[in-house]
């Protein structure tokens, strides 16, 4: 059984705790947060604390905190030479204080506290300064049903950047589409099968080959009509930018 101490109480920490607690192969020995109010409701399930000096011994200490807090928190840990990992996609492995065994346990997924999440659908990117620490990180991922991927810091940061495009930016496009339908009295829900099929299609096709639409057809009349329809200048600017990008990608003039 792998013993874990969890530090932080944000979206990632909350989902990790639920997954760890449900696993028969993991013992969550303690949960730390600066404010006990956030984690006090879990005290019947796990030992909670807001005092770093009371941290118990464990196999892995997981810093599920904001990127800016990783370095400071790791320096404050009252022990050394233990496996301490952070969960950030964009922060260097070396942000963890050098007195510890340093690693990364990055779940590449979007996390919202109100939404349930099955870790079978969450790839875990793992990294360790000492290769000997990789097996336990892999075992930890497997214990919650995830598949682990050994990546270096540059690869992980590239994945995090790419994730912003496929998740955060795409979600903003969903929001714009929602505004367009609302403004014209149409039902956004009618678009949901298209959203699902678009995501499903790239399981068998590359995004390049999966591209369709008026830009790819070089349908100038439709593009012109769309731009005329768009009353919101932000929507129009995004439409023009993405149209230009698709044209350049596919060599359309």
CB 42 within 8 A of CB 17: yes
pLDDT for residue 111? 82
pLDDT for residue 145? 96
Give the pLDDT band of residue 116 (cuts 50, 70, 90): confident
- Residue 189 has which token pair? 């829900």
CB 126 within 8 A of CB 152: no
What number of other Cβ atoms are within 10 A of residue 56's Cβ?
10
Q: By three-state DSSP, how is residue 125 classified?
A: strand
Q: Which strand (E) or helix (H) includes residue 136?
A: helix 134-143
CB 188 within 8 A of CB 177: yes
Give the pLDDT band of residue 235 (cuts 50, 70, 90): very high
| Radius of gyration of the CA atoms of the chain, in A | 22
Q: Write out pLDDT tens, residues 15-60.
A: 999 999 999 999 999 999 999 999 999 999 999 999 999 999 999 9
* pTM of this prediction exceeds 0.85: yes
How far is C-alpha 111 from the geometric centre of its chain's CA atoms?
Answer: 6
Alpha carbon separation from 102 to 86, 99, 122, 144 (Å, rounded):
9, 9, 22, 21
């Amino acid at each position: 059984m792998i013993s874990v101490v969890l530090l932080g109480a944000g979206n990632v920490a909350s989902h990790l705790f639920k997954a760890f607690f449900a696993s028969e192969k993991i013992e969550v020995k303690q949960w730390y947060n600066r404010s006990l109010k956030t984690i006090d409701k879990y005290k019947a399930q796990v030992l909670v604390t807001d005092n770093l000096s009371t941290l118990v011994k464990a196999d892995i200490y997981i810093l599920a905190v904001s990127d800016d807090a990783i370095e400071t928190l790791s320096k404050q840990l009252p022990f050394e030479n233990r496996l301490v990992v952070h969960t950030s996609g964009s922060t260097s492995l070396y942000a963890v204080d050098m007195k510890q065994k340093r690693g990364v346990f990055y779940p590449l997924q979007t996390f919202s506290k109100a939404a349930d999440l099955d870790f079978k659908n969450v790839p875990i990117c793992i990294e360790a300064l000492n290769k000997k620490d990789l097996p336990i990180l892999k075992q930890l991922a497997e214990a919650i049903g995830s598949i682990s991927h050994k990546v270096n810091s540059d690869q992980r940061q590239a994945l995090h950047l790419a994730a912003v495009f496929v998740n955060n930016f795409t979600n903003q496009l969903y929001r714009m589409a929602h505004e367009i339908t609302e403004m014209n009295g149409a039902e956004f829900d009618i678009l949901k099968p298209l959203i699902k099929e678009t995501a499903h299609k790239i399981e068998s096709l590359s995004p390049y080959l999966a591209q369709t639409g008026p830009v790819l057809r070089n349908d100038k009349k439709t593009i012109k009509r769309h731009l005329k329809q768009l009353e919101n200048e932000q929507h129009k600017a995004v439409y023009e930018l993405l149209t230009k990008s698709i044209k350049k990608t596919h060599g359309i003039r």
